[in-house]
Chain A
Amino acid sequence: MFFYTIFMLRYLITRVVGLIGVTLIVSFIAFMMLYQLPGGPFSEEKQPLSPVAMAAIKAKYNLDKPFYVVWFSWVTHAVQGDFGTSYQAENVPITKLFADHWGVSLQLGLLSLAWSVPLGMLFGVVAAIRRNQWLDYLLRFLAIVGTTLPGFALTVFLVFIFAVRLHWVPTTGWKPFENPATMVLPAFVFGLVPFGSLMRYARNGMLEALNQDYVRTARAKGLVESAVIGRHALRNVLIPVVTVLAPMIPNALTGSAILETMFSINGIGRYFIDSISSRDYPMALATAFIVATLWGISYLVTDLTYTIIDPRIRVGGR
C-alpha cells in the first residue's frame, strides 16, 4: 500500500507537470494560428484609418512585434496571475471578467449535466433492456436528435413554441432565483448532446455486458433480473460512459458561445468565440489556457476514475 501511494504521487506529479507543458504548447500553437489570421483587434468597417492612427493601434496592442514576443510576454505575466486586459473591456482585467461571468456558465453547464448524465445513462440502460422494442426505437431516435440537431436551430424552434406561443418560459435571460423558468430551455438544449451521446454509449455498453458469460452465470444462479443488471452488468457500462463523459465536462463548464448569445446569458462562453473573431489576443490566450487546463484535468480525473470503477486497471499501465 505504501509503495502504491508513493507510486500514485509520482504519477500525479508527472501528470501535472505534463499538463503544464501541454497547456503552454497549446497556448503557443493557438496564438500562433490566431496571429496569422488577417485583421487585427481594430475595426476599419467604414473608412481606413490613417497610417498614423493604425501605427498607434498596432503599438498599443503589441502588433508591431513578432507573435512569439507577444506570447512570451503574456506567459510571463500569466504565471504571476496576470492574464492581461481584454481589448474590448479596456481597463478591466481578464481575471475579473472570468470572475464575473464564469459562475453563470458553470451554473448552465452543471445544470445541463445534472439532467443529461443520469437520464442519458438510465435511458441507455432501459433501451438495451428493451432492445428492438418500440421504446428502444423511441429512445434511440431521441439520442440521434440530441446529438445531431444544431443547438441554434433547436433553440429558435423551442423558443418559438414555448416562449413565443405558449409563454411558459421567457425568450432569454438567466435568473436562477428570480425566475427559474429562464433556466429551462438553455439547460435543456445544452444538455442534449451529452444526453444523446451517453445514452448511446450506455446502451451499447449494456448490450455488450448482457451478452457476457458472467451475466449468464448470474442468471443461471437464479438472481432476479434487476440484481443481474444492477450488480453485475451496470458496473461494466460505466467504463465507456466515463470515457465519453470526460470531454463533455470541460465543454459544459466553459459555457456555450451560441446558447449564451441566443439566450442573452451573461456567461463566459461568448468570450471564447468573440475573442477569436475580434482578435482579442489576451482573452484568446486566456481562454486557450483555461480550456487546455480543464481538458488536462478532466483526462487525469478520468484515468483515476477507471481505477475506482475497475480495480483491474492501474494507472501508469502497470
Chain B
Amino acid sequence: MIKSRIFSAVAIATMLAACAAPSAAPAPTQAPAPPKAADPTKAPAPTQAPAPTAAPAATKAPEPTKAPVADTSMNTVGKKLPDDAAPSDQQVIVIAAVPPPAGARMMDIMAATYNRGLGADLFAIPLVRLNKDFQVIPGSAASWSASADGKTWTFKIRPDLNWSDGTPVTAADWVASFQHITKKETAYDFGWYFEEANIKNFADAEAGKAKPEDIGVRVGASPKDLVIETTKSIPYLPMLFLYASPMQKAALEKSGPTYNSDPKTSVSAGPYVLQDWSENRVVVVANKNMPDDLKPLLNKVIIIAQKNGLQAYQAGEVDTAVAGSAADVKVITSDANLSKDSTQDPADFRVHYFFFDMSKPPFNNIKVRQAFAHLFDRDTIVKKILPLPAGAPMYGFLAPGFPDSNQEQLKTLQSYDPAMAKQLYADSGVKITDKLTLQVRTENAVEDAAVAMAQVYADEIKKQLGVEIEVKRTPQKTFMDALNAKPTKMDFGMISYGMDFLDPSNMLSVFKPNGRHNWNNDKYAALLDQAGPETDIAKRDQVYKDAEKLLVTEAPGIFAFQQFNVNLWRPYLNGVTFQPGKVNTARGIGWPGFSSFNLGTYDTYVTKDVLKTRPNPPK
C-alpha cells in the first residue's frame, strides 16, 4: 500500500515537473553577425537564359599538407573559418531529416531519384549549382559554352577536381552515369526529366532503339571536356544539369549504383566523404581532397532520420529540423523561442491545386470548370486552415518569386465570386446530378490541411451549385496510378507540384498535352513551344505570362495555395544562405536542401554563439 502511494506521488511529481520545466529551446541569442570570410557568390548568370559563363578565377592548386598545428580558426581540412566562427571542434551539426523509404540506399541522384537514401547527394558536385536565390553558378563545371546553333554544349570540368581516392574527375564519369540511366535494366525513375533536355538518342536508348553508348553525352577534346549534344536548342539547358551529379565510373562498374552507402566502397568528389552509414543515421566529414573553394566549413555533419524533427529540435538534439505537419507549425508559431528560430522557406515553390478529367463531361465544358474555379474562397480558407508561415493563397501556378510569376494580374480570373459561378454553371447547360468524388493525394506534410480545404470547398460547391461532392483521401501510389491511367480514372482531384528547376517551362509543362493532365490545349502547347527556345528574355517572359494566363482562364486547374517549408535553424548557424536573398528571403539552407547542389552546404558554419547553448559538440 505504502509503495503504491509512493509510486503515485512520484508519478504526479513527474508530471508536474514536466509541465513546469522550461522549454528546451535555447535561450534567444543575438542575431548572428553576417559572415565575413565566406565569399558571396559573384555575379551569377541570370537564371532564365544562362549565358555562357566566364571562366572562373583560377583556382589555386591544393597546398601541400602542413604539419598539424592547434589553429582553431582553421577547420579539419584546412579551410579558414570566418571571424565569428566557433572553434574548429564546434563545426559539427546534426540535421533531422525526413525518413526515406525502408531499405533506400541509392545515394546519388543518377542512381535513383525517388528512393534515395538518407544523406544522399553529398558525394559529387553536379555540373552547376544554385546560389541562395536559385541562380545557376558553376559546380563541377568551371564554365560552359554552346555552339552557334545552340545544340552542342561543352562543359569544362574543373581541372583541380579529384575523387577522394585521388583519381581525377573527368567527363568519362558523366558519360558512364548518363549511359547507366539510359540502360533498360537500370529502369531509371527520373528519365522524364533528362528527356526535357532533348539529349540526342536519350529517349531512344531508354526505349532500346539506340545503344546507351550512342547518346549525345561524350568526352570532348580533353578528358575534362564534357560535350552534350541535343536535338534542339535549349537556352536554359545548364540549369537542367543541376541534377547531373555524376557517379564515379570505376566505382559504378565495380560496386554498382549503391556504392556510396558503404564507407568501404564510397568515393566522393563532393564537399563531404562518408564516414558512417545506416538507414537512419549517416555521418559525413569534410572532404580534404576538394579544392579550397569547394571545401565545406563544417567538419562533420550527422544526419538522422526523424519522424518528428520538431521534438528532437525542442529536446536540443538537432540543429535543424523541418515542421512535419500543420500541427507542428502551430506549435512553432505559438512558442516565442521556436518562432524566432523558424523560417518561411519557399522551398520548391510547391503549389496545391484542384484538377479535372477534361476528356469527358462535365469537366470538358470550360464554363463548368470556370464555375468551380470561382467557388474556392482561397483568401478565407487558406488563411484560416493553413496560414503563414506554412501556406498562402494562390491565384496562378507560378508562385511569387518564381520567374514570370504574375499573381496580381491573375487575381480576378479565379476569384471567389458565387454569383458569377452560378451564372457560368447556368450558361454551361450542364446539370451535374451524380455525386462527384474529390480525391486528395496524401503523403504530404500538410495533407490534413489540404483535405480540410477540399472539404470546405466541396461544401461551398454543394451550397452554391447543388452538386454533391465526397472528399476522399487517396494514398499516393493509388492516386498516381489512377491519375496516370490512359484514360485517366480520376474525375476530380487535388494534388501539388513543386519545381524541378527554376524556369517557367518546368512548372507550366505540368499542363502540357500528354503531361500530368489531359487538358490538351493546342494554343497552350504552342505557347510553351514558342517560349522554350526563345533567347529574347523579354519576349520569352511575355509568352510564358500569356501561357499562364490562358491556363488560369480556362481553369484546367484551380490553384489553391502555396506550401512553404517551415524550417527551424539554431541561431548559431550562419553563412551566405543565412542572409536574406532577393528572391529567397528565408534564413537558412533552402531548396534543394543539404546537398552538393546547394551553396549553403559549403558555406554554413557554427558561430561563437554556440557556446552559450551547446558547450560540447555532438558526437
For chain B, residues 152 to 168, give those with C-beta under 8 angstroms from any C-beta of chain A.
Answer: none
Number of A-B contacts (CB under 8 A): 181
Task: Please tell me if the beta carbons of B258 and A90 are within 8 angstroms of each other in the complex.
Answer: yes
Task: Please tell me if the beta carbons of B114 and A160 are within 8 angstroms of each other in the complex.
Answer: no
Task: Please tell me if the beta carbons of A161 and B103 are within 8 angstroms of each other in the complex.
Answer: no
- A interface footprint on B210-234 (CB within 8 Å = 1, 0 otherwise): 0000000000000000000000000
Residue of B191, B278, B305 near A49 (CB, 8 A) is B191
Check B583 for interface membership: any CB of A closer than 8 A: no
Task: Please tell me if the beta carbons of B191 and A38 are within 8 angstroms of each other in the complex.
Answer: no
Smallest beta-carbon distance A48→chain B, Å: 5
Check A68 for interface membership: any CB of B closer than 8 A: no
Check B509 for interface membership: any CB of A closer than 8 A: yes
Residue of B23, B306, B484 near A172 (CB, 8 A) is B306
For chain A, residues 253 to 294, give those with C-beta under 8 angstroms from any C-beta of chain B.
Answer: 261-262, 264-266, 270-271, 274-275, 277-280, 283
Check B477 for interface membership: any CB of A closer than 8 A: yes
Supposing A50-B203, A167-B315 touch, asked if A42 and B484 sit within 8 A by C-beta, the answer is no
Task: Please tell me if the beta carbons of A89 and B103 are within 8 angstroms of each other in the complex.
Answer: yes
Bound CA–CA A164/B21 (angstroms): 9
Smallest beta-carbon distance B13→chain A, Å: 11
Check B83 for interface membership: any CB of A closer than 8 A: no
Check A60 for interface membership: any CB of B closer than 8 A: yes
Task: Please tell me if the beta carbons of A160 and B478 are within 8 angstroms of each other in the complex.
Answer: no
Task: Please tell me if the beta carbons of A86 and B191 are within 8 angstroms of each other in the complex.
Answer: no
Contacts of B18 in A (CB 8 A): 160-162, 165-166
Task: Please tell me if the beta carbons of B104 and A88 are within 8 angstroms of each other in the complex.
Answer: yes
Smallest beta-carbon distance B4→chain A, Å: 6
For the A-B complex with A46-B497, A57-B187, A274-B102 known, give 16 more contacts whose Cβ atoms are closer than 8 Å. Answer: A38-B477, A39-B480, A47-B192, A47-B516, A53-B206, A56-B208, A88-B104, A88-B115, A156-B308, A160-B314, A165-B17, A165-B24, A166-B21, A264-B99, A275-B102, A277-B477
Of listed A56, A86, A277, A279, residue having the most chain B CB within 10 A: A56
Residue of A nearest to B113 (CB): A43
Contacts of A48 in B (CB 8 A): 192, 484, 515-516
Residue of A50, A90, A171, A277 near B106 (CB, 8 A) is A90
Contacts of A275 in B (CB 8 A): 102
Contacts of B278 in A (CB 8 A): 266
Task: Please tell me if the beta carbons of B103 and A88 are within 8 angstroms of each other in the complex.
Answer: yes
Task: Please tell me if the beta carbons of B509 and A47 are within 8 angstroms of each other in the complex.
Answer: yes
Contacts of A55 in B (CB 8 A): 207
Check B149 for interface membership: any CB of A closer than 8 A: no
Smallest beta-carbon distance B83→chain A, Å: 33
- B interface footprint on A275-318 (CB within 8 Å = 1, 0 otherwise): 10111100100000000000000000000000000000000000
Supposing A48-B515, A88-B101 touch, asked if A171 and B206 sit within 8 A by C-beta, the answer is no
Smallest beta-carbon distance A140→chain B, Å: 14
Check A213 for interface membership: any CB of B closer than 8 A: no
Bound CA–CA A231/B481 (angstroms): 62
5 nearest interchain CB pairs? A39-B477, A88-B103, A52-B207, A274-B102, A38-B481
Residue of A60, A170, A271, A278 near B187 (CB, 8 A) is A60
- Taking Cβ atoms with an 8 Å cutoff, the residues of B that contact A are 1, 4, 14-15, 17-19, 21, 23-24, 99, 101-106, 111-112, 114-115, 184-189, 191-192, 195, 203, 206-208, 256-258, 278-281, 304-308, 311-312, 314-317, 475-478, 480-482, 484, 497, 500, 509-510, 515-516
Bound CA–CA A264/B187 (angstroms): 30
Smallest beta-carbon distance B108→chain A, Å: 12
Contacts of B191 in A (CB 8 A): 49-50, 53
Contacts of B311 in A (CB 8 A): 156, 159-160, 163-164, 171
Task: Please tell me if the beta carbons of A159 and B480 are within 8 angstroms of each other in the complex.
Answer: no
Q: List 18 A-B contacts (CB under 8 A).
A: A42-B187, A50-B203, A52-B203, A53-B191, A57-B187, A61-B187, A88-B104, A89-B105, A101-B279, A161-B15, A164-B23, A166-B18, A261-B99, A262-B308, A264-B99, A264-B307, A265-B280, A266-B281
Contacts of B1 in A (CB 8 A): 135
Contacts of A49 in B (CB 8 A): 189, 191-192
Residue of A56, A277, A280 near B103 (CB, 8 A) is A280
